[in-house]
Amino acid sequence: MWGLVWKSLVHRRVQSLSTVLVVGMSVAILFSVALLYEGMANGMEAARQRLGADILVIPGDVVLEAGTVLFTGAPVNAYFPATVLNAIRDVPGVGQATPQFFSQTLPEKCCNLTLPVRIIGFDSASDWVISPWIKNPGNRPLGTEEAIVGSRVDVQDKLLLLGRPFTVVNVLEYTGTAMDYSVLLSLDVARELAHHSEELGSVWRTAGPPENLLSAVLVKVAPDADREAVIAGIHAQGYFRVIVATDVMQQMRKQLILLLTLLGLAGLLTLTASLLQLFVRFYSQTMERQSEWGLYLAMGAARKQIAALIAAEALCLSVSGALGGLVLGSLLYGTILGVIRGYYDFPFGSPSGWYVLGLAVTTLLLFVILGGMAAWLPAHRGSRSEPADIMTRGEYN
Amino acid sequence: MLLIRNVKKNYGGDSIFSGISLELKKGRSLAVTGSSGGGKTTLLSIVGLLQQPTSGLVQLEGRDVTSLSPDAQAAVRNQYYGYVFQRSRLVGSLTALENVMVPAWLNRSGRDMEKRAHSLLCGLGLGHRLHHRPRELSLGQLRRVALARALLLEPPILLADEPTNDLDPVLADEVAGRLFEAAKKGNVLMMITHDPAVAARADDVYELEDGKLRIKDFARDVG
């Protein structure tokens, strides 16, 4: 019987290919949109958890997009005096404030690295932002020759930074942001390294020695405080950019939701088209191939064999279309992600292998069910064809 | 081998025929003639288990096969019957060789039968048309493909509905010759034909007129 299924599909190759193609395209779009959605949801969640701060205060001359700084964790080489920290802490309504110092990016050819990494200094005593991401957190602060590395920094126990050896004492969990490509040192050590950096020498000549500078202050607003009043209070301390996490997140969420809605609509349209194609193809067969099925019945096919024949054809088309669509969808996912990243800075957490596998299996099952549904009517009618009909029909169908 | 007992067929309120009884024996051929629309094809399809009679029964080797379920009748058709239909009735999407193989695919003996299908088609002069589709074949070629399909599983009963219709005399003689040859080898052959020359080659000739089946009186025709 499989021989008949195969011959039927091959001999109607234009019909078969067009059905497989339409099913494949809709699977590809659905699969890639679902992966993108999951990745973006992961990224937003990671960013939300990573940020842990309500407000990010950076020097006023930083021109980067708020979302870039906030969600990708991209460090910027702009600085303000360290005294800003205490001034901000004194603003009424500020619950907690912790400083960060962004040093230079080290290229992969430098040191013993395989990828470019950022050096970030943080204050482990006041920090609540980075600490939750440390895999095996301890209570003691980082030593002067100790470092924590992001999850994508490929080093063993030892790390050589600008000729200075460090022991890697911890690794961060995967965050889906630039933090994954960072080396974290204590605030003072990061400043000291930066002091001797030729690359940043001109910066220190203008801004003063790095020991007295900071790059960012992360602020948590006290539970009952008025956030707008806190923002106004911070602005009153000097020329800063104050990035409010919730505003940026809402804005970014709006943009991404719009984008995903458009992609999802495209997927739904293609899905509808492929469903129509499947149903039309198999429904039209009930008329076109009635005499063929009658002939098989006359030649000795059981009714359930005819039903199985029709269902097998539908399943072959939908499953092969779905399998092709999954491959195409994986390629589409990479391409769309690249294009979106070219226009937006947003946090992205690649979906886990289990999620991808589960999604692939679900998509495949969905199309197996749809193929079965499309074949049900023709299978039902075909299996009830009258073998005697063929006695009075034309030469061949 | 095959016994038709008191078979009656009505369509709506009209009686096509009634009280038809026949016996088809191994190694014998039987031709049925009669005017068009007289119910010959209907009779053949009842004998071939392609439709149910209104009343009466068909016995195959002593067993009533009219009362079997549709699937059991299908199995009987596959095992016992070979059909050559009035029109060749080939599957348009299959090649000549594949069309011949259909009965074998349906009973899952495909692999064993491919050589036989090949040799049957070659024996019928279609060795160069094995992989052609029906639309690429002439009427005579289509009829020979249908004949090869009927003979593939070597069924004990062959039913042919005007198998030489529309064929030139040479081809008609070849197709009829193949069928009578099978009957001589021990098969049952029941054939419907308008061609007196073909009918005359059968062991028994009947005429279906006015819903009644009678032995054909050649003398009356000549007179």
Are the CB atoms for B105 and A4 separated by under 8 Å? yes
pLDDT score of A45 more than 80: no
Q: What is the pLDDT of residue B128?
A: 93
Q: What residues of A are in contact with residue B88 (Cβ under 8 Å)?
A: 395-396
B147 band by pLDDT with thresholds 50, 70 and 90: very high
- ipTM summary value: 0.89
Mean pLDDT (whole number) for A17-29: 86
State whether residue A396 sits within 8 Å of chain B by CB: yes
pLDDT at A51: 61
Give the model's confidence band at A396: pLDDT under 50 very low, under 70 low, under 90 confident, else very high. Answer: very low
Least confident range of A271-275, A323-327, B5-9, B35-39: A271-275
A347 φ/ψ angles, rounded to the nearest 5 degrees: -75, 140
Maximal CA-CA distance, chain A: 101
For chain A, positions 289-318, list CB contacts with chain B under 8 A: 291-292, 295-305
Among the partner-chain residues B77, B139, B142, the one whose CB lies closest to the CB of A300 is B77
A335 to chain B, minimum CA–CA distance in Å? 40
pLDDT-based confidence at residue A394 (cuts at 50, 70, 90) = very low
Give the pLDDT of residue B191: 94
Query: B172: which 2 tokens?
Result: 């008609």
Higher-pLDDT residue of A258, A386: A258
By CA distance, what is B79's nearest residue in A?
A: A300
Residue B11's pLDDT band, with cuts at 50, 70 and 90, is confident
**CB-neighbour burial class of residue A342 (10 A; exposed 0-12, middle 13-18, buried 19+):** exposed
Q: What does the pLDDT read at residue A102?
A: 85
CA distance B105 to chain A (A): 6
Q: Are A391 and B85 a contacting pair, CB within 8 Å?
A: yes
Question: What pTM was computed for the model?
Answer: 0.64
| Mean pLDDT across chain A | 81
Closest residue of A to B46, CA-based?
A: A388
Contact A396 B135 (CB under 8 A): yes
Record: contact A396-B88, CB cut-off 8 A: yes
Report yes or no: A386 at the B interface, CB cutoff 8 Å: yes
Say if residue A352 is exposed, middle or buried (CB neighbours under 10 Å; 0-12, 13-18, 19+). exposed
- Give how far A324 is from chain B: nearest CA, Å: 25
pLDDT tens digits, residue range A65-88?
655 555 555 556 788 899 999 999
pLDDT tens-digit map of B33-46: 988 888 898 999 99
- Contact: B105, A298; criterion CB under 8 Å: no
State the average pLDDT over residues A34-43.
83
Q: B164-180 pLDDT, tens per residue?
A: 887 888 888 888 998 99
For residue A223, pLDDT beyond 70: yes
DSSP state of A78: -
For the stretch A167-184, pLDDT in tens is 999 988 776 667 778 889
Q: How far is A251 from chain B (nearest CA, A)?
A: 58
Lowest mean pLDDT among A326-335, A383-392, B98-107: A383-392
User: A206 to each of A57, A197, A213, A381, how far by Cα in Å?
Assistant: 21, 15, 12, 85
Let me know: does A170 contact A135? Beta carbons within 8 Å: yes
Tell me if chain A has a CB within 8 Å of the CB of B45. yes
- Quote the CA–CA distance of B187 and B179 in Å, as a whole number: 9
B192: nearest Cα among A391, A300, A388: A391
- Confidence at residue A67, expressed as pLDDT on a 0 to 100 scale: 56
Q: To which residue do tokens 């009927």 refer? A: B150
Angle ∠(A179,A183,A188) on CA atoms, nearest 5 = 115
pLDDT above 70 covers a percentage of chain B that reads 96
Span A299-313, pLDDT tens digits: 888 888 888 888 888
**What pairs with residue B63 in β-bridges?**
B60
Half-sphere exposure of residue A142: CA atoms within 13 angstroms, side-chain side = 30
Instruction: Identify the H or E element spanning B182.
Output: helix B169-184
DSSP letter for A353, please. Answer: H
Q: How many CB atoms lie within 10 A of CB B97?
A: 19
Contact of B68 with chain A, judged by CB distance below 8 Å, is answered with no
Whether the per-residue pLDDT at A351 is higher than 60: the answer is: yes
* Interface contact A295-B89, CB threshold 8 A: yes
Q: Which of A193-207, A242-256, B74-88, B123-137 has the lowest mean pLDDT?
A: A242-256
pLDDT of residue A325: 92
